Amino acid sequence: MIEQKIKTIMIATSALIFAAALLHYTGISFPIIGPILNFILCALALAGIAHIIGHSTEQLGNYLGAGITGVIQAAVASLPELFVCLFSLKAGLVALVQASLIGSILGNVLMLLGLAFIVGGKKHGVLIFEKQSTRMISTLLLLAVSALVLPTLAQELHLPAGSHEKQLATVCAIVLLFVFIVHTNAMLTQGQRSMPTDVHEMHDIWPLATATNIMIGCSVGAAFVSYWFVDALQPAIDKLGISQTFAGLVIVSNAGNAVENVVGVKLAAQGKSDFAVSIILNSALQIAVALIPILVLASFVIGGEPFTLAIPPILAVALFLSVLVVTVVTVDGHADMVDGAALFGLYVIIAAIFWWG
């Protein structure tokens, strides 16, 4: 049975979705905070949906191993961000989409993983997680980020390939999708498939069908809320006086990553290091090898300005250095509060750089 706390969150989230829909479709606006209120309601609704999906994923983990659960969790968690980016590209907000995708990767590997290590390390000391799968994910993430950075270098160095942005972006997108398929197949066939040993010791375990149906229902709801979120985004940015880059790098990316923000830190606090690290790193990897190439190919279909992989150089440098640091931190399968503080601190420094645009 679904516990009372989750039922309360479901009711509150439904109310937020209803309020966001009302403001969106009726055009009701309040003085001074009109567009900001719409934006906040949609962000809170996405966070509520994220919390419900996060709890459903934890329930799903009672029946599946860490590897399979991490793949499913990351795929479902990416749907709100996919919708937000598609609607943003359609609206011509290419700079915001670039920043939000890079911000999502940075938010996962720096802010979220850092918070997970801080919270988990404070409660349990040194966190120990499975080295082989973590090393594989970190290596693939580093290779995927290299594929995203190289088109930027080609353009900035005025190489011949730099004048063929669309073609180069298409090649990179296809290669990254191939890596995604190979990685997903490896996680599903080689990952832990047995039921966790503590499943029978837990209380309030949902039936598998209930957990799955709730995840699907929340994903559908996230599609609608994401559209309303983008519709309120530009007016809110103008009202707040911030740049598209900072809004995408920090605000939009964290709203899209609300699922991992909830479940990743929670699992680390419970001492479930394998689940936490698998979910967080898989989420970052799937953004790099699945979400970004899908958006590149989709941008050629939906119209508007094409979405290529030539990003601002400072974003490319920040992305590459961040993933390199995370690879070094996680390669030995151990982490503590100091590692978490270092990762989180690097995220704050990068965010501060873009505060001024």
When the pLDDT of each residue in the chain is averaged and rounded to a whole number, the result is 82
The per-residue pLDDT for 195 is 38
Q: Are 274 and 130 in contact (CB under 8 A)?
A: yes
**pLDDT at residue 199, as a whole number:** 40
Per the model's pLDDT, the better-predicted residue between 100 and 69 turns out to be 100
Q: Name the least confident of 31-35, 94-98, 321-325.
A: 31-35
Band the pLDDT of 326: cuts 50, 70, 90: very high
Asked if residues 249 and 106 have their Cβ atoms less than 8 Å apart, the reply is yes
- Residue 51 vs residue 190, higher pLDDT: 51
pLDDT at 80 over 70: yes
Average pLDDT over residues 4-15: 87
pLDDT at 43: 84
Q: Give 7: exposed, middle or buried? Use CB within 10 Å, 0-12, 13-18, 19+.
A: exposed
pLDDT score at 276 = 85
Structure token digits, residue 256: 């899209």
The pair of structure tokens assigned to 317 is: 């440098």
- Mean local confidence (pLDDT), 188-198: 50
Range of the domain at 229: 4-353
Weakest-pLDDT range from 180-184, 189-193, 198-202, 275-279? 198-202
Whole-angstrom CA distances from 20 to 37, 78, 188, 235, 261 are 9, 21, 38, 15, 22
More confident residue, 171 or 244: 171
- Is 192 a residue whose pLDDT tops 80? no
Average the pLDDT over 246-266 and give the result: 76
* 8 Å CB contact between 161 and 154: yes
Residue pLDDT, tens place only, 81-105: 788 888 888 888 888 888 888 988 9
Q: How confident is the model at residue 190 (pLDDT cuts 50, 70, 90)?
A: low
Q: Give pLDDT, residue 130.
A: 82
Q: How far apart are CA 300 and CA 295, in angstroms?
A: 9
Local confidence band at 137 (pLDDT 50, 70, 90 cut-offs): confident
200-210: average pLDDT: 68
CA–CA separation, 43 vs 30, rounded Å? 18
Q: What is the pLDDT of residues 271-303, one digit of tens each?
A: 888 888 887 888 888 888 889 999 999 888 887
- Burial profile 24-49: b = 16 or more Cβ within 10 angstroms, e = fewer: beeeeeeeeebbbbbbebbbbbbbbb
CATH number at residue 224: 1.20.1420.30
Neighbours of 231 (CB within 10 A): 17
Whether residue 88 contacts residue 230, with contact meaning beta carbons closer than 8 Å, is answered with yes
**What whole-number percentage of the chain has pLDDT above 90?**
17
Which of 37, 14, 43, 38 minimizes the C-alpha distance to 218?
14
Quick: pLDDT tens for 139-166. Answer: 888 888 888 888 888 888 888 887 888 8
Number of domains in the chain: 1
Q: Is 157 exposed, middle or buried (0-12, 13-18, 19+ CB in 10 A)?
A: exposed
Percentage with pLDDT > 70 across the chain: 88
Cβ(99)–Cβ(84) below 8 Å: no
**pLDDT top residue among 65 and 141:** 141
pLDDT class of 325 with cuts at 50, 70, 90 = very high
207 alpha-carbon distance from chain centroid: 27
Q: Name the band, by pLDDT with cuts 50, 70 and 90, for residue 18.
A: very high
pLDDT at residue 193, as a whole number: 39
pTM (predicted TM-score): 0.80
